[in-house]
């Protein structure tokens, strides 16, 4: 059946701080990868170590690239995650349809293709 985006997010949130959660955007790729498939991690490509999913966490979404981000390679069976520190996103420009926004600044996005980082959804209500 595979992991839901909610399960992916739960795994990520166990591995980042509350501050990181509030200031980051979490993206999940719903395409399941097989062992040995190519995975784009920043500017490099690695082999997927198990059957599973990739989740990308932009820790400073409003900064230009060359800043901290995390990649989670999540095992489909065990739900264990390999966490990789990086400074660049997996894509520049068009994102594949399987690439979804799971969480924005600690909140669920209005829709899962909401890639706009410069909006007002992260402001606190008065």
**% of the chain at pLDDT higher than 90:** 65
Compute the mean pLDDT over every residue in the chain, rounded to the nearest whole number: 88
Selection from 17, 15, 36 nearest residue 83 by Cα: 15
- On whether residue 117 sits in a domain, the answer given is no
Assess whether pLDDT exceeds 90 at residue 111: no
- On whether residue 53 sits in a domain, the answer given is yes
Q: Please, which pLDDT band fits residue 122 given cuts at 50, 70 and 90?
A: very low
- On whether residue 42 sits in a domain, the answer given is yes
Assess whether pLDDT exceeds 50 at residue 28: yes
Instruction: Let me know: does 43 contact 88? Beta carbons within 8 Å.
Output: yes
Assess whether pLDDT exceeds 90 at residue 95: no
Quick count: other Cβ atoms within 10 Å of Cβ 99? 19
Question: Out of 20-29, 104-113, 114-123, which region has the weakest mean confidence (pLDDT)?
Answer: 114-123
- On whether residue 109 sits in a domain, the answer given is no
Beta bridge partners of 104: 25, 107
Question: What domain count does the chain have?
Answer: 1
For 52, the token pair is 């599973």
- Per residue in 38-81, pLDDT (tens digit) is 999 998 999 999 999 999 999 999 888 889 999 999 999 999 99
- On whether residue 56 sits in a domain, the answer given is yes
**Distance separating alpha carbons of residues 121 and 83, to the nearest angstrom:** 28
- 3-state secondary structure (DSSP) of residue 121: coil
| Amino acid 116: pLDDT | 67
- On whether residue 18 sits in a domain, the answer given is yes
- On whether residue 81 sits in a domain, the answer given is yes
| Amino acid 91: pLDDT | 79
Q: Which domain holds residue 26?
A: 5-104
For 99, the token pair is 């690439």
């Amino acid at each position: 059946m595979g992991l839901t985006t909610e399960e992916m997010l739960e795994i990520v949130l166990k591995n980042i701080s509350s501050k990181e959660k509030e200031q980051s955007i979490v993206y999940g790729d719903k395409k399941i990868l097989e062992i040995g498939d190519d995975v784009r991690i920043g500017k490099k490509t690695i082999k997927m170590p198990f059957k599973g999913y990739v989740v990308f966490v932009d820790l400073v979404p409003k900064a230009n690239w060359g800043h901290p981000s995390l990649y989670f390679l999540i095992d489909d069976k065990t739900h264990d995650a390999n966490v990789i520190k990086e400074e660049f996103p997996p894509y520049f420009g068009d994102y594949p349809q399987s690439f979804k926004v799971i969480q924005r600044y600690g909140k669920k996005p209005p829709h899962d293709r909401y890639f706009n980082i410069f909006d007002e959804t992260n402001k606190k209500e008065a």
